[in-house]
Amino acid sequence: MAGRALMQNREIIDPDFYVAHGYPHEAWAELRRESPVFYWDENENMPFWAITKHADITQIGKMPEKFLSGPDLVIRTDPEPPGGEFQPPPTLIQLDPPIHGKYRKIVSKRFTPGALRKITADIDRVAAQIVEGLLAEGDEGTCDFVEKVAAPLPIAVISWLLGVPESDWHLLFDWTNRTLGAGDPEYQIEGTDPGETARQAMIELFQYFTKMVEDRKKNPTDDLVSLFAHAEVDGKPLPPMDVLSYCMIIVIAGNETTRNATAGGMAALIEHPDELRRVQQDPSLFQPCIEEMLRWTSPIIHFARTATEDFELRGKTIRAGDKVALFYPSANRDEEVFEDPYTFRVDRNPNRHIAFGIGEHFCAGAHVARLEMSYAFRSLIPRIAEIEFAGPRDRLRSSLVGGIKRLPIRYKLHAA
């Protein structure tokens, strides 16, 4: 079978492939064509069904009772880490119905379009601090775009939302790298495995937020830590560990993803200078351009689900207990949904990408991410006179997040 020949390299799940080559679009295209529901039993640590079509991922995402997010949201490629003393509780993203909806309501109140309208000006103000830092360095230069803009931008916004003071932003950066990037040697604590690296980062994060929660209980404010500290489910206060895991999911989910959409979006503009000129000449294309960046970069490579009962899909039987992996970047190149899926088009319309997932667990921070990226590119795009890569990009070793660790660029700006 074609899928099996392709998968001999394990590329769609192999973190080493991602670090060396980026996304395996050829393998995904062949799987979509030849074997869209494909069982890969040679991933010793966790055999799984690879789901690569937009329609199938959409269907599974909308059946949260049949396909659970807990306990395994990620297909493990490394052996199971030894159980340590500290086992973090499940976060929102791993909860299943009916409890998931009750917990999700806590944060979704804060992220409705109406509530976000009130904080758009604040997000612009926080983002301006970062973007203006780059623009203030003169009208030409060389920099690592990740270090200057793509990484600090979401950290600043998430910190501001949570109520973390600027002096501690670097801690959030470090915790995100060590949890989502635990499989990358650059972030691994020497002498430990990825599981231990992530666990230690989570302990530090929990200790930090324990103090913040205690403070907000006594002195309520408008920030998210205060919201979680005072939240109730079924008329009862949230257990202390759940308050902390809520803080953790906001830190972890909101940083690395937006970082990579922003860095990957900038890389796409450099690789497509004609599209950059089009959006410079027509500001009405800014918003469609952001959506195209999200489709093009699809920063989450996969999330997994566990089937609760046998399920037929395209003639294959997914058995109860089987794992399925939803490959969002593959769905976002699906020829049945997107015209010219391999062309980056800033005026793409419609653009039904699922970079933020679909169904029950649709990204709670999607509008926050859009606001951050819109601000950054609205400020930067009109100023770009010339831009090119100043070296190769450095990728994260991960088959969960398509991370860009460094993106060296050389630029000339139009005068302000």
**Beta carbons of 128 and 375 less than 8 angstroms apart:** yes
Taking the complex as a whole, the smallest distance from the CB of residue 95 to ligand HEM amounts, in Å, to: 7
Helices (H) and strands (E) in the chain, counts: 16, 14
**Segment interacting with ligand HEM (CB under 6 A) among 35-43, 194-202, 299-307, 388-396:** 299-307
Closest CA to 293 of 251, 340, 353: 353
Q: How far is CA 288 from the centre of its chain?
A: 19
Taking the complex as a whole, the smallest distance from the CB of residue 305 to ligand HEM amounts, in Å, to: 8
Q: Does residue 368 belong to the site contacting ligand HEM (CB under 6 A)?
A: yes
Q: Residues near 115 by Cβ (< 8 Å), separated by ≥ 6?
A: 109
| Residue selected from 92, 126, 205, 225 as contacting ligand HEM according to rule CB under 6 A | 92
How far apart, in Å, are the Cα atoms of 82 and each of 44, 74, 195? 17, 17, 8
Q: Does residue 403 belong to the site contacting ligand HEM (CB under 6 A)?
A: no
| Residue selected from 181, 194, 195, 254 as contacting ligand HEM according to rule CB under 6 A | 254
| Residue selected from 75, 164, 307, 355 as contacting ligand HEM according to rule CB under 6 A | 355
| Residue selected from 228, 303, 327, 411 as contacting ligand HEM according to rule CB under 6 A | 303
Q: How far apart, in whole angstroms, are the C-alpha atoms of residue 274 and residue 268?
A: 11
Taking the complex as a whole, the smallest distance from the CB of residue 59 to ligand HEM amounts, in Å, to: 13
Looking at residues 211 to 250 of the shown chain, list those that interact with ligand HEM (rule: CB under 6 A). 249-250
Looking at residues 95 to 124 of the shown chain, list those that interact with ligand HEM (rule: CB under 6 A). 104
- Rg of the Cα atoms in the chain: 21
250 versus 324: smaller Cβ distance to ligand HEM: 250
Q: How far apart, in whole angstroms, are the C-alpha atoms of residue 344 and residue 269?
A: 9
Q: Does residue 300 belong to the site contacting ligand HEM (CB under 6 A)?
A: yes
| Crossing angle for the helix pair 240-271 and 194-218, to the nearest 10 degrees | 120
Q: Which residues would be at the binding site for ligand HEM (CB under 6 A)?
A: 69, 92-93, 104, 158, 249-250, 253-254, 257-258, 261, 299-300, 303, 328, 355-357, 361, 363-365, 368-369
